[in-house]
Amino acid sequence: MRKILILLAFLSFSFVYSQTGGGFLNKTISNIGDSLSIDKFKFDVNKLKRFTIENDTSYIDTSLTIKKFYKFNYIRKDDFELVKLNNVGQIYNQLTYNPSKNNLLSFGYNANNILLTNKSEVQFYEVAYPVTELLFKTVFSQGQLTNALFTTNINRKLNFSLEFKALRSLGKYQNSLSGSKHFRFTYNYNSEKFNSKTFYLSQQLEKKENGGLTETALENFESGDPLYNEKSKLNVKFDDAKNLFFKREFYSENHFNFAGKNKFNLGFDFHYTTVNNSYSQAIINPEYYGPSTSSNSINDSFKFRTSSARFFLNSKSLLLDNIKFGLKRFNYEFFEINSTDSKIKNNSNLIFAELSHNTKSLSFSATIDKKMNGDRVGNKYLFSLKFKNINNLFVQLSSVETHPGIIYDYYKSSYDLVGWNNQNKLINNNSLKINFSNRFLDLFELTLSSISNYFYIDTRKDIDYDFVPKLKVSSNEIKISKIKVNKNFSFGKFNLDNTLLVQKVNQVKEVLNLPDFIARSSIYLEEKIFRNVLDIQTGFTAKYFSKFYSSEYNPLISTFHVQNEIKIGGYPIIDFFLNAKIRQTRLFFIFEHINSSLTGNKYFSTPTNPYRDTSFRFGLNWNLFN
């Protein structure tokens, strides 16, 4: 791996050096002073760009808005369609179904996906002056959440960024310590003859898994007995289970321009990932997964490696702004650590095309991935239109075949009853998404989805062990319709932000269970005080989702399994917040779930994992511009 990185870096550097006539280093050094000169620039947020691999561009924004407050959490995303577990850094339970857009083989352990940054979410930067962003947020006990970002342009063409996020949090329940480390490096270079984007991403999740409360502990929790107000007194399923997930990936995309103004270029990109997951228990607890006759302890460890390379031509025409087409090679290797008998190794070839066109009134894009060989790789078709003059109307049609994950094809556990060796069918996700905004609605979004060969995890009913997973595929098509609307009302200094989601699942057998509706409403005051130096935002947020048969989290395989016996939901979650902004610093004071003592102990994130009790959290987000 190290040799590959060195080779790619050398090739990229050599090409840039040759294209600049051998004077690249001299010009770079001489331009550093100009690019960072105080006289050269005045502060302007429009000079602080960030963009994704697909060149979706936004700006570094230091404003204090309700949308920013919604994203002030561990995953840095709005968690409206999710419900948190009782500790920071643990998995989330999903309240909606979002079809995957990935047609290449993945590892599995799918409950971890929401905690990870994927390739499409990596941000690149172009800034007129060095930028530092610091984030801090308290947790429940013995730790904190921190995030630090630094980015700068060496000159107008070359930028790099470094980011590190770390978490340690001890939960209120037994065996609920969570921790993580995320490191990211990005580099991008843009010139008339050469363009390059590169990132390295390392992510580690360490979670102690308690499996939820035992049956007796559930009764004690719901009884409201003051003896159990201290949640560490409640017994959990696993006292010493631990999951360690570690993912590293390297990506580099390079374009060589042979004609002026990017009319024609040759390019390649390379994406390499290696992922490890290890589940361990020092003492075997046969009550939930059954016995283990081969070992005195549990240690299920697997590794998954992939590499993807694309070679393509990119050009413009009279009809389209961009035409990209080429070949893709995908290789994967999967094996059980400390065992060579279980190795699965294969490769696939695909042809692909990407088309786009942009005018003042219309944007069009299309992505086509057509596989030539490979059973665990699917086809992908994405088409989208945006009508800029018609309420920003956006229409997207997609059809994607995706594999559920390699560990669901092969798994061999130290537990005797847990294991399989098969090849699953590809899941076929077809969806139509329409959204727009106008003066009546800030957002209207309609999503219609149909799923064939839906893959899910059940549990074995023929034995007395509750958590032994059983793989299943739905033989009937599942259809989902979902409508989501958002509107913010302003009454002077007061605001009311409302989001409502209504969904319906049509299925023969209840294998994909979701709440019928989710609602969130925030009423808050925005005010400037101390001669407009301090911005204040304070109010309440209430969230509610209807009762449904939620899936249960299965820690051995970091996946949810279906159950149709216990419903969760039907309770409100009310938070109080007081936020402030001083220049480029935002402060957040949050009382979470302040109504927990008023609704009875009926609040759950999964059937055996309670939601969070009332707690106070403090955090800040600080932007520094040099």
Q: What is the pLDDT of residue 260?
A: 62
- Between 360 and 353, the higher pLDDT residue: 353
CA distances from 457 to 75, 409, 418 (A): 25, 12, 13
Percent of residues, the chain, with pLDDT higher than 70:
92
User: In the beta sheet, which residues pair with residue 240?
Assistant: none
pLDDT at 42: 62
What's the confidence (pLDDT) of residue 22?
43
- Which residues, in sequence order, are CB contacts of 598 under 8 Å at separation 6+? none
| Banded model confidence at residue 321, pLDDT cuts 50, 70, 90 | confident
85 within 8 A of 212, measured Cβ to Cβ: no
Distance, C-alpha 354 to centroid of its chain: 24
Say if CB 542 and CB 452 are below 8 A apart: no
Fold of the CATH domain 41-97+108-625: Maltoporin; Chain A (2.40.170)
- DSSP 8-state class, residue 539: E
Question: 2-19 and 24-35 helices cross at what angle (nearest 10)?
Answer: 80
> For residue 397, what pLDDT is reported?
97
Which residues partner with 430 through β-bridges? 399, 450
> Distance (Å, rounded) from C-alpha 557 to C-alpha 561?
10
> Which band of pLDDT confidence, cut at 50, 70 and 90, is reported for residue 225?
confident
Query: What's the average model confidence in pLDDT over 582-605?
Result: 93
Residue type, 587: L
Give the model confidence (pLDDT) of 491-520 as tens digits: 999 999 999 999 999 999 999 999 999 999
Q: Which structure tokens are listed for 432?
A: 């139509």
Rounded Cα gap, residues 620 and 326, in angstroms = 46
The pLDDT score that the predictor gives to residue 522 is 98
The arithmetic mean of pLDDT across residues 117-127, rounded, is: 95
If residue 182 lies in a helix (H) or strand (E), which one and from where to where?
A: strand 177-190
Which of 568, 526, 531 minimizes the C-alpha distance to 549?
A: 568
Helix, strand, or coil (residue 178): strand
Task: Quote the tokens at residue 336.
Answer: 């059980």
CA angle 328, 332, 336 (to 5 degrees): 170
Taking only Cα atoms into account, the Rg of the chain, rounded to an integer number of angstroms, comes to: 26
Residues forming beta bridges with residue 132, ordered by sequence position:
150, 624
Least confident of 62-66, 427-431, 543-547: 62-66
Which stretch of 262-266, 524-528, 558-562 has the lowest confidence by average pLDDT? 262-266
Three-class DSSP labels, 478-510: EEEEEEEEEEEEEECCEEEEEEEEEEEEECCCC
pLDDT category at 340 given cuts 50, 70, 90 is: low
What is the chain's mean pLDDT, rounded? Answer: 90
* pLDDT number for residue 12: 45
pLDDT at 385 over 80: yes
| Alpha carbons 527 and 102: distance in angstroms, whole number | 44
Q: What is the pTM of this model?
A: 0.90
pLDDT tens by residue, 257-292: 887 655 788 999 999 999 999 999 998 889 999 999
Q: Supply the pLDDT for residue 32.
A: 39
Mean pLDDT value of segment 114-124? 95
Domain segments of the chain: what residues? 1-40, 41-97+108-625
Percent above pLDDT 90 for the chain: 79
Cα–Cα distance list, 267 to 258, 310, 476 (Å): 11, 8, 42
Name the token pair of 143: 């730790």
